Amino acid sequence: MGRRLTHRGMQISTVAVIGAGTMGAGIAQVCAQAGWRTHLHDAHPDGLVAGMDRINAFWDKGIARGKTTEEQKAAWSVHLHA
C-alpha cells in the first residue's frame, strides 16, 4: 500500500483532483501510483476522458520501454477513479 500522510492527526488516504488537464492528470497519476484512492474530476466530460487517456498512455509508454509492467499498471488503475 502507498504512504499515508497525516494532517492534524488525520490520516489522508483519498485524494480528489479537480481538473483533468495536463497538470491535473499528472497529479492524479502520481497519487494513484502512491497507492492513494484518487478521484479525477473535470467540468467537461471530454476533458475527463482526455485526462484518463493521458494517464493510460503514459503507463503504456512505460510498459513499452520496459520501465513498468502490465501488473503495475493494473495495480495503479485500481486506485484511479473518474
Amino acid at 41: H
Q: Are 75 and 45 in contact (CB under 8 A)?
A: no
Cell of 76: 495503479
Per-residue pLDDT of the chain (82 residues; tens, 9 = 90+): 556 666 677 787 899 999 999 999 999 999 999 999 999 999 999 999 999 999 999 999 999 999 999 999 999 999 999 9
Domains and CATH numbers, the chain: 5-81 (3.40.50.720)
**How long a stretch of residues is the chain?**
82
Q: Is the pTM of this model over 0.95?
A: no
Question: How many other CB atoms are found less than 10 A from the CB of residue 39?
Answer: 16
